[in-house]
Amino acid sequence: MKKYLILFVQSYPNFRIAELEALADLEGVSVDLSKHNDKIPFLEVELENDDCAKRLVSRAILTRGIYELWGQGSTYEELHNMIKSNKDLNFRQFDDVSFKFTFESFKGRQSLKEQLKIIESFSYLDFNGKIDLKSPQETFTILEEYEVYGMERATAPKYLWFGRQVQLSEKMRTNIVEKYDLKKRGYIGTTSFDAELSLVTCNMAHVQQKNIVYDPFAGTGSFMVAAAAFGGLTFGSDIDARMISGKDGKTIASNFKDYGTTPNFMDVLTMDFTHNAFRSDFKIDTIICDPPYGVREGLRVLGAKNEEKAAGRESNIYNGSLAYLRRDFVPPKRPYELSSLLDDLLQFSSERLVENGRLAFWMPTANDDFEATLIPQHEKLELQYNIEQSFNKWSRRLLVYVKRGDLYVGVTSNGLRESNIRSFRDRYFSKFSENSR
């Protein structure tokens, strides 16, 4: 086993390890990530070889890169002594390759003059290759952690690492988060999902090349677009025809065209997934979505609030045709609770996902009443992740489930209904006050 150092990005620290665990599972890489501290962006791990290190972080979004660890210490003197005494290192294998030195610093930074002085202190490595600042064959990195006291700027690092860059992540190699930023997208709406978390969700849902990926609440296609970035073959549906139709000539399909991923766009349908038009034997690799919370307007599903009254309308004739058979017929909708939606989503996923297929969706919760029992469960779906993103008085949680085989029998429950808590929409508009329960 070899020692490596992982460098994380600063955003969404509580999602870092879950994303890497999911990618390790996807790539078949064995790694212990339990020593992670979300207060700092550094994590030392042991891996079998460089190939494992590359596969672990290659498509990561919340990781910057991974480095073969050559040495560490609380001072540069300690760092140099450890490198010099490391008998596992063979400096001479890098004699004839082009190289450069870089710095990665957390909560502090050396001046350019100091950086040059530090780089010169590594002269004992005695590399004979050409220095190439643009496209070197090898990059050697000095990673520094500073400690800040109040408003005072730290003058020296608290801890140091030195390593050979093995792999930069998808985020750093391709600038994928900036590329998919909502501000640069042609078609978005008020509920379009954050690009960075959309990509993270796809990683945790194991979206892969040629996977069939479905979003039952497509909206403006945020998750579909993100899934296509990883090679997924995507399709979606939404009960709101306005979202599918687009605006000012821009549609979900035009977003795919702008990103050059049109071959990954299968179609979108105006459809209520609880009354879906799919064949009974149609299987899906991944279901990924952000269900409507019912905040902007109450949740709706196809069906009539008054079934008897609706039944009488079925015989209505309009211009010689039954009204409900006409192409311009707008079917009635009835109120729908979030708890029922999640029940239906889990049941749909249990029937449609392939074995080991994944369901990933975001669920809102009020911070003052959340308990583990509120997480919906289905006997054929194993809950893998439950990660919180907090917004003061409420949160949303990323829930990731895996469809298991016929022999797996879990628990079916829905804490949102059983806890007798009022709807999320009601609580949201009452500002989650105590008497809104």
pLDDT tens digits, residue range 33-83?
999 999 999 999 999 999 999 999 999 999 999 999 999 999 999 999 999
Residue whose entry in the numeric block shows the structure tokens 């015989």: 315
pLDDT tens digits, residue range 131-153?
999 999 999 999 999 988 766 77
Region label for 146, one of left (φ > 0), alpha (ψ between -120 and 50) or beta (otherwise): beta
pTM for the model: 0.88
Rounded CA-CA distance 285/126 in Å is: 52
Give the DSSP letter of residue 39.
T
pLDDT tens digits, residue range 322-344?
665 666 656 666 666 778 889 99
pLDDT tens over the chain, length 437 residues: 999 999 999 999 999 999 999 999 999 999 999 999 999 999 999 999 999 999 999 999 999 999 999 999 999 999 999 999 988 888 888 888 999 999 999 988 889 999 999 999 999 998 989 999 999 999 999 999 998 876 677 778 999 999 999 999 999 999 999 999 999 999 999 889 999 999 999 999 999 999 999 999 999 999 999 999 999 999 999 988 889 999 999 999 999 999 999 999 999 999 988 888 999 899 999 999 998 875 444 566 656 555 555 555 555 665 666 665 666 656 666 666 778 889 999 999 999 999 999 999 998 876 666 666 678 999 999 999 999 998 877 788 999 999 999 899 998 887 655 454 455 556 655 665 654 44
Rounded CA-CA distance 267/251 in Å is: 11
Residue 257: name the closest of 173, 176, 187 by CA: 187
Write 170-177 long-range contacts (CB < 8 A, 24+): 170/58, 170/59, 170/60, 170/61, 171/9, 171/60, 171/61, 171/62, 171/63, 171/64, 172/64, 172/65, 176/61, 176/229, 177/61
Exposure letters 333-360 (e unless 16+ CB within 10 A, then b): beebbbbbbbbbbbebbbebbeeebbbb
Rounded CA-CA distance 236/67 in Å is: 39
- The pair of structure tokens assigned to 260 is 């050059």
Asked if 216 contacts 72 with a C-beta cutoff of 8 angstroms, the reply is no
Share of the chain above pLDDT 70, in %: 82
> What type of residue sits at position 357?
G
DSSP letters of 319-331?
Answer: TTEEGGGSTT---
Task: List, in order of start, the domains of the chain with CATH numbers.
Answer: 2-174 (3.30.2130.30), 176-429 (3.40.50.150)
Rounded CA-CA distance 141/247 in Å is: 47
- Coil, helix or strand for 239? coil
Phi and psi torsions of 366, nearest 5°: -85, 135
List of residues 6+ apart from 411 with CB closer than 8 A: 377, 379
